[in-house]
Amino acid sequence: MEAAPEKLEMFYEGKAKKLYATSDPDLVIAYFKDDATAFNAKKRGTVEHKGIVNNRMSELFFNLLEHEGIATHFVRRLNDREMLCKRLKIIPVEVVVRNLVAGSMAKRLGRTEGEVLPFPIVEYYYKSDALDDPLIIAEHAIAFGWATPDQLRQINELALRTNDVLRGFLDQRNIMLVDFKLEFGRFDGQVLLGDEICPDTCRFWDKDTHEKLDKDRFRRDLGGVEDAYQEMLRRVES
């Protein structure tokens, strides 16, 4: 295996991760923190070992997706909390795929959480903390230059394929993939899947009991957050 490039200065600190430049201008190191925030950082806390779980689970899912032909920014996991990634030019559109009604969709449209959707629904949100990531339509992204029509077509297709792959994998582990958020970026003229895929960014429910095994335990003060993250890691590694 090639030696990891040298870790240089931190150039970005987000709510859950820090990003470091490296001696290779095309690569960055993502460091996964235990800090947890919700409701655009109005609620803050820590979830012990969360960074380790999210790093490992993202590695596992990115490898699975790459194996299925979905190009991602993942290069390799370096240690418990660090991942080597391609440096993306982030497209400021968050993509949510939903299989069941939950969270903001239940609230916005007055539907019951747990209602099964007749087909997966892809939603776009403008990535802006100042505006609380508002729901947008594709035309907003095109009109304001956040993404081109061709990039949006690719993003839509990649998001739905990602849903198919993850859903099948999780179903075998008795987990329902309720919904999840993806981010994409440009690298070398290609659209790649970026960010992380973990209990912070997905809703995972036990298929039999509908027990929540994701960040909703933190958001909604349900308790047992650390145990839920560990249980999810155990299931995806089995």
What residue ranges bind ligand 5GP (CB under 6 A)? 94, 96, 102-105, 133, 179-181, 200-203, 215
| Closer Cβ to ligand 5GP, 94 or 231, answer by number | 94
CA dist list (Å): 70 to 26, 155, 158, 165, 200: 19, 11, 7, 10, 21
| Closer Cβ to ligand 5GP, 7 or 104, answer by number | 104
* Inter-residue contact 157 to 165 (CB < 8 Å): no
Minimum distance from residue 125 beta carbon to ligand 5GP (Å): 7
Nearest to 193 by CA among 101, 98, 63: 63
| Closer Cβ to ligand 5GP, 73 or 181, answer by number | 181
| Closer Cβ to ligand 5GP, 179 or 231, answer by number | 179
**For residues 8 and 28, what is the distance between their CA atoms, to the nearest angstrom?**
9
* Cβ neighbours of 209 (radius 10 Å): 9
DSSP state of 131: G
| Closer Cβ to ligand 5GP, 175 or 202, answer by number | 202
What is the number of the residue whose Cβ is closest to ligand 5GP?
103
Minimum distance from residue 98 beta carbon to ligand 5GP (Å): 7
DSSP state of 112: -
Minimum distance from residue 118 beta carbon to ligand 5GP (Å): 18
Q: Is 125 left (phi over 0), alpha (psi -120 to 50) or beta?
A: beta
Nearest to 209 by CA among 180, 175, 237, 236: 175
Minimum distance from residue 229 beta carbon to ligand 5GP (Å): 13
| Closer Cβ to ligand 5GP, 35 or 179, answer by number | 179
Written as six digits, the tokens of 105 are 């969709």
Written as six digits, the tokens of 195 are 């960010």
| Closer Cβ to ligand 5GP, 73 or 203, answer by number | 203
Minimum distance from residue 1 beta carbon to ligand 5GP (Å): 30
Minimum distance from residue 218 beta carbon to ligand 5GP (Å): 10
* Cβ neighbours of 216 (radius 10 Å): 20
**For residues 157 and 71, what is the distance between their CA atoms, to the nearest angstrom?**
12
Minimum distance from residue 23 beta carbon to ligand 5GP (Å): 30
